[in-house]
Amino acid sequence: MSINLSLVLPCYNEEKNIPFLCEEFLKLPFKNYKAELILVNNGSNDDTKKQIEIAIKNNISENIFIKLINLDKNKGYGGGISEGLKKADGEFIGWAHADLQTPLIDFLNLFLKIKDKKNTLGKGFRINNRGFDSIVSRFHENLASLILGKKMKEINAQPKIFHRNLMKYFTNMPHKWTTLDTYVVFTCLENNVEIETIDVFFNTRKYGQSKWKNNFINFISHIIFNIFYLFKLRIFKK
């Protein structure tokens, strides 16, 4: 069985989002393509794992599959994605958040846009990024562009999808969410990988809370860590 697209979603305490996520993903009109949704239970302490298992049991689709990767300990956003990518069978692979803030149809739309391109990183571009999120994004973009010497836009926007051949460039993927996407975009620019975007509308969470922005100390620590990481990336390219 040949899988066309593997999409990895790290899940930490997403028990309420999982049923809606799986239901909506299974409705996507992949038609002549086969896709797998790899849900990484990233050390959750709620019923995330149980909800994923229920979704797998109830799945009757013949071309869309759900796979569970269970981690006993939380390995961070990037660590969860890395574990999921190890189990990905798709020709094209990618990731996004499991919080339903990115419309699932955008996963399919982005895949269809780049499905014939093996040297392209496909990513979302948030058209409604405003308020606090916009301030943080612009700060991150400008800081990264200044330190790395590359024009960086909408670095953390989801989803991200690419041909699995590009994994040869991603040899040292970091585990923090604020650094993973920066690393991937910068590495693509360094290796002359084309970057294509689609407009995405960033929704509010249906359930749960942001894992970082409701904690001011956590937010400041992310900024400080990211500044050090950017200099490391500029100097060592990894």
pLDDT, tens only, 86-143:
999 999 999 999 988 888 999 999 999 999 999 999 999 988 776 666 777 778 788 8
Q: What residues pair up with 144 in beta bridges, in sequence order?
A: none
pTM of the full structure: 0.90
Of the pLDDT bands very low, low, confident and very high (cuts 50, 70, 90), residue 226 is: confident
DSSP 191: T
The CATH fold assigned to 5-236 is Spore Coat Polysaccharide Biosynthesis Protein SpsA; Chain A (3.90.550)
Q: Are strands 92-95 and 64-71 parallel, antiparallel or unpaired?
A: unpaired
Per-residue pLDDT of 58-93, as tens digits, reads 999 999 999 999 999 999 989 999 999 999 999 999
| Domain definitions of the chain by residue range | 5-236
Cα–Cα distance for residue pair 220/178, rounded to 1 Å: 12
Q: Cα–Cα–Cα angle for 93, 99, 104, nearest 5°?
A: 50
